[in-house]
Amino acid sequence: MVRGKDSSSAEVHFIGQIVSGSGFSDSQLFCRWSIQTGGAWHHVEGLKEGQTHADCPQLGQAAIWCHPVDVHYTIKGITGWPKLVVQVYSLDGFGRFDICGYGFCNLPSSPGAHSIDCVIWRPTGSLRDEFRQQFVGGGPQLRDPQLVYTSLDRYRIQTTAMGTVHVQISVILRNFARYGIEY
Amino acid sequence: MKSVSWNHRAAVTQKSIDESESMLDQIRSRRGRRREAGSQDESQSRSVQHDDTSEPDETLTFRPSDSVRADVTDDVTDAAGGGEGGPSSPAGRLGKPDRGGGGDSPRAPPPLAPRRLSAAGQETFRSQLKKRLSLAEIKGHGRAARRSRAQPRTSRFDTLREGGTSRAYEDYMRATAAGRTGPSSVQAYDFFCRIWEDPPSERRAATAPATPREAGEETSGAAESLSLSELLGGEQLGPVTRHVAPMILSRKAQLAREADIYFAPSPIPIPPEERLPAGGQARDPAEDGIYVPRRPHLAGRNLHKLENRLLHSSDRSWFGEDGQLLCLPDPLLSRPRHRDYRDVSEDALTDYLPASMEAPRPADPEPTVSAADQPQQLQLHVHLVAVRLTEHPLFSKEHRAAAGLEQLHREYTAMVDDDTVNRLTQRLWAVRRARDGVLSAALQLPSADHGDHTADRGDHTGDHGDHTGDRGDHTGDRGDHTGDRADHGDHTGDGAEQVQRRRIDDYTTSIQRLREQRDAAAAQQRRLCRSILRRWRELKVLREDQGFSSTPLRLAVRELPSDHGQETELWQRELRAELEELRTEHDRSKQHQDAEYRQQLSEWRDRRRQLGSDSDQLGPRPQPPAEFDPQQVLADIEARATGNRRPPGEPKLAFDLLDTHPITATADCPKPEQQRRQAVSRCQLSVRTLIGGREVSHTRPQPLSQQLVSELHQQLAVRLRAAPEALQLEVCEEGTRRSTRTLAKLRLPAPASHVTERTALPEWTAFSAAGSGPAARGRLQAALYWGVDEETGSVLAPPADPTAEGAAAAELAAPDPNDPADASLTANMPDPCAAAEGGDRPAPLRPGCDGFLTGAPDPADSARCRLLRLRDAGVPEFRHVTMAPLRDQQVPQQLFTAYQKRLEAQSAAGAGAEEAGGDGGESARRSVLQYQLRIKEMVARRLRAAQKHKRLEDMVREDEVPDIGTIGSVFGSLLSVRRPLNPPRKQKQSRPLVDLQGQELQLLCHVVRAFNVPVRRDTDAVRTDYSRPAPAAQATVAQSSLLPKVSVRPFMELTFQRQTVRSNVAQGPNPTWNQDLKLPVTLPPQGVADLHSLDDVIHLSLQDEVLVDLLDDDRLQDTNVHQRIERRWLAELTVPFSTLYINGRVEGTFRLNTPPLLIGYECDVTARGTLFHLTESLPTGQTGTYVTVFITLEPPVNVPPTVQEHLESMETEKLLSHCELWTRAFRRDYPGRRVRCTVLDVTGRSALVCRYIRPLRPPDALLAACSNEEDQALLIARFVSLIPNVSDVNFFSGMYDLWTTCQEFLDMQAGDEEEHAILLCNFFLYLGKRAYLVLGSGIPEGLTAYVLTDEATNRWLWNPCTGQRSSAAESYSSLLSVGCLINAENVWANTQVYAQPSCISFDVNLVGDWRPLFTARQPAPTEMASVQAETLRYSVTDTARVRTDAERLERRLRDHLQNWRQRTNWTPWNRPCSDALRRMLPLLERSTFTPAISGAQLADEQTRLLANIHATYKVCGVPLNVPQHSQEAMVEALFALGVHRNDSREAEFALAVHMEPYPSNIVAVWVCVAALTRRR
């Protein structure tokens, strides 16, 4: 590889897709996602967040999204490696949506193709809330969705496991060797 | 004898059993069966009685256990058997196995013979009996009875009746007791088999002991009556157990008994002395500064009980030094770690959100899910109270002195308030006490075990003594070191003592340190005290010297009462204590010094030995260390104390600073002071507040008082989105010359998040001037607090930072640094040690900056990243970059230059239009364009996200599934009437934009026909074609007879994006082409998605093809044809591409734009009507050329829908919903009619359309130009039409219908039909006309706006873009349908059957015809503030500049024309013609708004002007009138004319530009271009 004299900084490119969500009690699901990074990461191109379509699978229970993720960052430091934060919503028979769960996963840091399973949970409400949720819909939602990926207050939440979101991500690193990062 | 012994034996046994029984009873009673003592006795007596009735006295003793009884009987038998010993005897056989297990003995059949017991047998029996009895003693009575039933090892007697058994036994006993002779065989048999009669009489007399004799007789007498069956199978089983009542003791007795066994600790607290070891003193470690963990909470009663018990066992090791129980710290957390399940709902982390139909907002720039995600609303209040200067150039000497005094007093007061000296003194004494306590303990402790040590040491020395003989040579050494070793032994042997010594050392050092601190503080206080007094004296002297006073400061000195005796005592005590300490310190250091001295001395001696006594190198003899001199030291201490502290006799002073000193009136002051005071009164102070580097407020300047205090008292509330770290305040001095000088800057940290108005206190913050400039110092009083939301009551503060909170808590609670529980707090505190050490620790890394890429270039610098980022941001210059290079060097730099240029231009335009004023009108225009661009960008940015909305049709192409209806219609179409000659147009399926990627988009124009085409006027030109020389005279006649005279050969030419396609040539003024013209559309670089931003214009021009015969030689005319085709521009139709894009197609018969004068052509009015029936529909007297075209795009394009976003509105919710309902209802009833209630303004807010209508005064110049009202109206319409027309679509780069206000419209000099119409309508309203804004659809622009004026004579419809009016009743109007009428009060929707203006009534009062938005039931909002400004600002047009612009434009157009004529390389200009044209143009301009000037007059004028030229040239020219949009548009229009395509070598050209200035920089531009051909 010819190393140019250009003074470009280290770059990371995440290309992949949010493949599907499985294991949920509902099957009509859609998913909102965002990528959270630390301060040393500068977004260059691509969407850092988005929303998939709502999939209503006729066959099987897994909602297939295959939603593309294509983000490009230049970085100054590897702290705050990106996390993929996911919120899964479900559509009910009336066309209403309610939150199905939250979850996050760290994006892989080694180059190559990876497939990640992001485990989804949702906050548990009071007994009354649970009943309401069962019969009327809706559900307890986090006031501050940042809680999903910050560990500060998360211990206070009581949660229920919901399902898994499957993600396939390919990581391309550039100029990392110049900064002495081995991978 | 034997019987006696036996009896005796039995009595003994009985006694022992009695004992055992009483013991059992005792146990039973202890178990708690409590009964009345009386009843117990009774039952006992009863049982005794019962026994008495049944049995003799002795046998009673055997009752407790049947088994015992049985066993005894058994054994007796055995013994008897054994005694007889006859193996042949059946009785012996019977007896033997019985010992092992009596289970089978009942089966053993008799011959059972009564046996006798031998003496040996008796002995054995006795021993057996004894054994069994002892067993019975051990076993419980009841249990034994039970076991007798359960055990297999029961003898056969068990089955016998009790009575019988006992009787037989009695007999046996009697027999044994009676005789030396054993029982006979009969007796023996009876013993087992006989049933004895009850001897009742005997029983009664059983108390008397029966004689053995009698018993023997009875036994023998009853022997026969016992049957075997009874013996074996007797079923009459009596009770084998008996109830024994429990022994119940009274409570008192019970307690008395228990008191011996138990110990009950008392709950009364024990005095602490008892808890300590003997002679110990309670010591509180907390007082000594040692961390004491919190004890777990224990109820006092329990604790005392525990202590009492421990002390009872005399175990003092459980108690600590402080006399408290030793215990671990409280292991319980004060807060629960995990919340209760029920608490979850109250948890602030989650909200229950009901399910809703509205999908969560798609990925916006800011993903917001809940309210908490919204940027926080913060409200910071700043209360600036006052500024007090302490140093300033305006300070007089006195002020300076007063400020100094004040400063000193403040320090002193702070010190006194803090009570530093006292505090340190008390601490010093506490430590001293602690040390004394340890010392006394140390003295006591070793006294106990010192003896041991000495004894030990004695042993040691003894040992050493043993070894002395072995090591004779070391004796001397050992003798020397004995003492040392003893010391050493002391140290190592006793750890506690060492600890104590260390503690004492620690105390000593801390005392020393505290003493120094105390002395320093006291000295400081004393110094302050002295300086205050001195400064006050100075101030007084100063005032006297200068003869006036300008400060009110006065120092009042009070003497505080003091107790002399007590103070002296304390003083002495202190001195003593210090002396003692110094003494001990001296002692400690002396040991060391002694050793040193000894060593030095020995060295010195050695040297003396070597060098001799009087050598120079010997040096002085070392001096022994000085002895402690108490007198000297005491004197030193006292001197020091007197210097530092207040000696007992000295008065105790307190200072009060008062403002009561009279200030000399200004008049009495000397001149310099007067001047100074004047300067002060002129000076004003203000405070500027900056948050995040941005100025948020600048207080009003407040005058400075004579005391150099400025009372600001200003409050300020700032709404913030993010919490500021600190607030920057700038104290400014407002000078006399309107100049503001920043005195000083200071930073105030943002308040803690709990501080609100109630809790905030104004605090003084000192500041001092920074930088060069006169020194100024002062203090600012300000309070910072967070606002409170009035509705919710929540504090609008940022969430508390946990670290900050920790730090705050650290300050508040003063946590123990030794306490591990406070480690998290102390970790956040600044480490004073680190600061003292100079901070040589590595600084902690900032988060997010770990330095791994230090030295890495900023990503912004990398050209590639910059390119990528700009492309991602959608910057127009970079949007089309598809392949970004991988390396920086490969990024073309010119990509950025255009971008940079644009940015610079924008910033320059933003700097101000006046700056560009020097550069003529074009620069002014450029600034307007920049303004347009800015607005465009702003709107685009605002709506970019909304643009991304896609419809289902855009994403999914779905073919309709045929159903019955569609199939039916298919078959129906087969049967329908076919009219091949009248083909209908089939609607094409439009396709979404995304489908068009990679396809070629074509512009398709179907030109049908035109009529009323101008015909050639210049007969000469016609003759050029057909005037052939004489030989063909007949032919000419023939031609003219066959065809009408060929007056014009028109064709249509379509020009789009500089590409041209033309139709065939038709003949005559009413041609028919029926031809498709196609042109490819060059898509914008961003692709189809940006199609709407394409601002090209479709030019459809009508031209005349002229054949010019080039044959010079007439002879060749028969054989050769040599002609040149020339084209003459006649008229054109311009359709903006956006119109086509939005409407999908442009279809109809349109009036072409014809210049008011066509040089060389005229409209042949006479020719009309004779040829085409179509012309009949034309209004009489209507001139103009019409063309029927159909323009569309191929393939058809799906137009993105107008995004209906619920945007912010200035209307009420109720009104909006009413408008919505009204509009929807109308659209449902009358689809296709245009109606609007609310529109968006430039800021994106929606407003009621009525707000846009307001009478506005037209420019005065226009009003003054004409006196006639009608002329005024026409002139105004002309003025409005001159403002360039730019469609919203490409202006606002989206599907939004934005209405700008008239002022914005004039400023931007661009707008679409609505803006023109509003302005025109507003002007008409000012003129007093009843004017309405008409929304509808027209041709060619599609949705459009007109103005309706309701005048006395007629109703006029004004086309605001052309400035032309037409009668509302006219059948042929470019307005095709009327949707609604709007004025300032209401909106009326057209509910009539027809929508054509000629077919409808315009009386809005007719309820059946017009549906109003506001009715009596739904009234209009009471006060409807107009969005329009009250008056419009019109900028003055610089006529001189307009003239230079005209010249510049002319030059430019000339250059362009020459460029386009590259082929011919030669473009001669005819100046006389140009001049003539130039003279003609103002007339043309005037003709546009003056109906008096008719076409004929114009033609005459033209003929007059061009008479000379016409004589020599054939002139063909076009005057072009374009509203000035830009010069580029002008160039395009010229290009579309095609004049440059004249290939004639002889052709000459004339070009004239005229610009007619109108107010507000609006200019009518006329360009006249003519081609001249010399006549031959």
Maximum pairwise Cα distance, chain A: 65
Please determine, for residue B83, whether its predicted confidence score (pLDDT) is greater than 50. Answer: no
pLDDT of residue B815: 46
**Is the CB of residue B447 less than 8 Å away from at least one CB of chain A?**
no
| Range of A34-43, B133-142, B371-380 with top mean pLDDT | A34-43
pLDDT of residue B206: 42
Instruction: List C-alpha distances in Å: B59 to B163, B182, B194, B1249, B1337.
Output: 12, 21, 20, 129, 138
Give the nearest chain A residue to B338 (CA atoms): A156
Please determine, for residue A64, whether its predicted confidence score (pLDDT) is greater than 90. Answer: yes
**Does the distance separating the beta carbons of A40 and B853 come in below 8 Å?**
yes
Give the nearest chain B residue to A177 (CA atoms): B853
**Does the distance separating the beta carbons of B859 and A42 come in below 8 Å?**
yes
Please determine, for residue A5, whether its predicted confidence score (pLDDT) is greater than 50. Answer: no
**Is the CB of residue A4 less than 8 Å away from at least one CB of chain B?**
yes
CA nearest neighbour of B1149 among B1057, B1048, B1072: B1072
| Range of B575-584, B783-792, B1145-1154 with top mean pLDDT | B575-584
Please determine, for residue A14, whether its predicted confidence score (pLDDT) is greater than 90. Answer: yes
Q: What is the DSSP string of chain A?
A: -PPP-----EEEEEEEEEEEEES-S---EEEEEEEE--TTEEEEES-SEEEPPPB--SSSSPEEEEEEEEEEEEES-SSS--EEEEEEEEE-TTS-EEEEEEEEEEPP-SSEEEEEEEEEEEE---HHHHHHHHHT--EEEESSGGGGT--SSGGG--EEEEEEEEEEEEEEEESTGGGT---
**Is the CB of residue B354 less than 8 Å away from at least one CB of chain A?**
yes
Confidence grade of residue B1567 (pLDDT, cut at 50, 70, 90): confident
Indicate the residue of A4, A80, A137 with minimum beta-carbon distance to B848: A80
Q: Is B1288 left (phi over 0), alpha (psi -120 to 50) or beta?
A: alpha
Give the nearest chain B residue to A131 (CA atoms): B352
pLDDT of residue B928: 61
DSSP letter, residue B1342: E
Distance, CA of A68 to CA of A47 (rounded, Å) = 10
| Range of A16-20, B673-677, B1380-1384 with top mean pLDDT | A16-20
Q: Can you say whether the dihedral through the CA atoms of B1296, B1301, B1307, B1313 is positive or negative?
A: positive
Type and span of the H or E element at B302: helix B300-312
Q: Which residues of B touch A153 (CB under 8 A)?
A: 349
Indicate the residue of B349, B371, B847 with minimum beta-carbon distance to A157: B349
| Range of B359-363, B648-652, B1088-1092 with top mean pLDDT | B648-652
Better-predicted residue by pLDDT, B1149 or B1380:
B1380
**Does the distance separating the beta carbons of A39 and B888 come in below 8 Å?**
no
Average pLDDT, chain B: 70
Average pLDDT, chain A: 86
Polymer length of chain B? 1576
**Is the CB of residue B1198 less than 8 Å away from at least one CB of chain A?**
no
Neighbour count for residue B744 (Cβ, 10 Å): 22
**Does the distance separating the beta carbons of B856 and A76 come in below 8 Å?**
yes
**A60-119 residues touching B, CB cutoff 8 A:** 72, 74-80, 87, 89, 92, 94-99
Question: What HEC string does B23-37 produce?
Answer: HHHHHHHHCCCCCCH
The beta strands (E) that lie in B1195-1274 are given as: 1238-1240, 1246-1248
**Does the distance separating the beta carbons of B342 and A127 come in below 8 Å?**
yes
pLDDT of residue B919: 43
Better-predicted residue by pLDDT, B729 or B211:
B729
Lowest-confidence region among B621-630, B1051-1060, B1209-1218: B621-630
pLDDT of residue B1266: 79
**Is the CB of residue B1406 less than 8 Å away from at least one CB of chain A?**
no
Q: What is the DSSP string of B709-758?
A: EEEEEEEEEEEESS--SEEEEEEEEE-TTS-EEEEEEEEEEPPPTT--TT
Better-predicted residue by pLDDT, B752 or B412:
B412
B717 to chain A nearest CA, in Å?
27
A113 to chain B nearest CA, in Å?
22
pLDDT of residue A72: 92
**Is the CB of residue B32 less than 8 Å away from at least one CB of chain A?**
no
**Is the CB of residue B844 less than 8 Å away from at least one CB of chain A?**
no
A69-85 pLDDT per residue, tens: 999 998 888 888 999 99
B679-738 pLDDT per residue, tens: 888 788 888 888 777 777 777 777 877 777 888 777 777 777 777 777 788 888 776 556
**A5-64 residues touching B, CB cutoff 8 A:** 5-11, 32, 34, 38-40, 42, 44-47, 49-51
B1011-1024 average pLDDT score = 61
Give the nearest chain B residue to A75 (CA atoms): B859
B212-223 average pLDDT score = 45
Q: Which residues of A touch B360 (CB under 8 A)?
A: 32, 51, 89, 97
What is residue B1218's three-state secondary structure?
A: helix
Question: What HEC string does B912-958 produce?
Answer: CCHHHHHHHHHHHHHHHHHHHHHHHHHHHHHHHHHHCCCCHHHHCCC
pLDDT of residue A113: 95
Distance, CA of B825 to CA of B828 (rounded, Å) = 6
Better-predicted residue by pLDDT, B649 or B1131:
B1131
Better-predicted residue by pLDDT, B1092 or B1210:
B1210
Type and span of the H or E element at B1106: strand B1097-1109
pLDDT of residue A114: 95
Contact B97, B104 (CB under 8 A): yes
B954-963 pLDDT per residue, tens: 677 777 777 8
Distance, CA of B799 to CA of B783 (rounded, Å) = 20
**Does the distance separating the beta carbons of B367 and A32 come in below 8 Å?**
yes
Q: What pTM did the predictor assign?
A: 0.47
**Does the distance separating the beta carbons of B345 and A125 come in below 8 Å?**
yes
Q: Which residues of B touch A12 (CB under 8 A)?
A: none
**Is the CB of residue B263 less than 8 Å away from at least one CB of chain A?**
no
B405-430 average pLDDT score = 84
pLDDT of residue B1206: 53
Radius of gyration of chain B from its Cα atoms, rounded to whole angstroms: 65
A39-47 average pLDDT score = 87
Lowest-confidence region among B53-62, B1103-1112, B1280-1289: B53-62
**Does the distance separating the beta carbons of A77 and B851 come in below 8 Å?**
yes
Q: Which residues of A touch B799 (CB under 8 A)?
A: none
Indicate the residue of A34, A80, A128 with minimum beta-carbon distance to B367: A34
pLDDT of residue B471: 41
**Does the distance separating the beta carbons of A38 and B367 come in below 8 Å?**
no
| Range of B187-201, B273-287, B1131-1145, B1558-1572 with top mean pLDDT | B1558-1572
Distance, CA of B1239 to CA of B1300 (rounded, Å) = 10
**Is the CB of residue B975 less than 8 Å away from at least one CB of chain A?**
no
Distance, CA of B1329 to CA of B1352 (rounded, Å) = 10
Please determine, for residue B936, whether its predicted confidence score (pLDDT) is greater than 80. Answer: no
Maximum pairwise Cα distance, chain B: 205
Indicate the residue of B350, B367, B862 with minimum beta-carbon distance to A49: B367
Give CB contacts under 8 A, 24+ apart, made by B274-279: B274/B311, B275/B307, B275/B311, B275/B316, B275/B319, B275/B323, B275/B324, B276/B316, B276/B319, B276/B321, B276/B323, B277/B316, B279/B444
**Does the distance separating the beta carbons of B350 and A97 come in below 8 Å?**
no
Contact B1280, B1345 (CB under 8 A): no
Instruction: List C-alpha distances in Å: B564 to B526, B530, B649.
Output: 19, 22, 7
pLDDT of residue A112: 93
Distance between the two ends of chain A, CA-based, in angstroms? 17
pLDDT of residue A30: 92
Contact B1066, B1172 (CB under 8 A): no
Indicate the residue of A5, A50, A136 with minimum beta-carbon distance to B354: A136
Indicate the residue of B363, B853, B888 with minimum beta-carbon distance to A77: B853
**B874-903 residues touching A, CB cutoff 8 A:** 887-889
Confidence grade of residue B172 (pLDDT, cut at 50, 70, 90): low
Contact B1411, B1389 (CB under 8 A): yes
Please determine, for residue B629, whether its predicted confidence score (pLDDT) is greater than 60. Answer: yes
Residues forming beta bridges with residue B728, ordered by sequence position: B690, B747
Q: Which residues of A touch B347 (CB under 8 A)?
A: 156-157
B372 to chain A nearest CA, in Å?
5
Please determine, for residue A49, whether its predicted confidence score (pLDDT) is greater than 70. Answer: yes
**A150-179 residues touching B, CB cutoff 8 A:** 152-153, 156-158, 179
**Does the distance separating the beta carbons of B865 and A96 come in below 8 Å?**
no
Confidence grade of residue B495 (pLDDT, cut at 50, 70, 90): low
Lowest-confidence region among B663-667, B912-916, B1090-1094, B1105-1109: B912-916
**Does the distance separating the beta carbons of A79 and B862 come in below 8 Å?**
no
B893 to chain A nearest CA, in Å?
14
Q: Which amino acid is at A26?
A: D
Q: Which amino acid is at B91?
A: A
- Angle between helix B894-911 and B863-873 (nearest 10): 60
- b or e along B1534-1563 (b: 16 or more beta carbons within 10 Å of the residue's beta carbon)? bbbbbbbbbeeeebbbbbbbbbbbbbbbbb
Identify from A5, A12, A141, A149 which residue to disrupt to test chain B contact, counting B C-beta atoms within 10 A and taking the largest count. Answer: A141
**Does the distance separating the beta carbons of B344 and A125 come in below 8 Å?**
yes
A27 to chain B nearest CA, in Å?
16
CA nearest neighbour of A75 among A33, A115, A35, A34: A35
Indicate the residue of B342, B347, B355 with minimum beta-carbon distance to A98: B355
Confidence grade of residue A171 (pLDDT, cut at 50, 70, 90): very high
CA nearest neighbour of B653 among B494, B822, B525, B806: B525
Indicate the residue of B347, B371, B848 with minimum beta-carbon distance to A77: B848
Identify from B343, B349, B889 which residue to disrupt to test chain A contact, counting A C-beta atoms within 10 A and taking the largest count. Answer: B349
pLDDT of residue A103: 93
